[in-house]
């Protein structure tokens, strides 16, 4: 199996069971970010009755110039960009 087919199958498995919820007025919102050498991922959660419910997912692949940033810089970029994107 080539890499492209394997990647597609993995992505299909990973997103097939994702259920997004609609946040409610009294929910507390929580942002979780992840950065690594090739991209940034973010998940916005609504915390309701001490349960985290995924509300939105957002990710992007890093540009070549962004790959030179430290993990701290990438995490900061993910947070700042998430606030712009989600709010």
Task: Evaluate if pTM is beyond 0.85.
Answer: no
| CA–CA separation, 18 and 16 (whole Å) | 6
The pLDDT score that the predictor gives to residue 48 is: 95
- pLDDT value for 11: 73
User: Is 17's pLDDT higher than 70?
Assistant: no
Contact 67, 48 (CB under 8 A): no
Tens of pLDDT, residues 46-83: 999 999 999 998 888 999 999 999 999 999 999 999 99
User: Phi and psi of 67, rounded to 5°?
Assistant: -65, -15
Confidence band of 37 (pLDDT split at 50, 70, 90) = confident
């Amino acid at each position: 199996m080539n890499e492209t087919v394997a990647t597609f199958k993995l992505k299909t498995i990973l997103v097939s069971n994702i259920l997004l919820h609609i946040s409610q007025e009294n929910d507390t919102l929580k942002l979780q970010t992840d950065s690594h050498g090739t991209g940034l991922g973010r998940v916005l959660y609504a915390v309701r009755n001490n349960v985290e419910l995924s509300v939105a997912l957002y990710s992007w692949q890093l540009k070549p110039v962004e790959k030179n940033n430290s993990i701290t810089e990438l995490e900061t970029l993910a947070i700042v960009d998430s606030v712009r994107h989600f709010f």
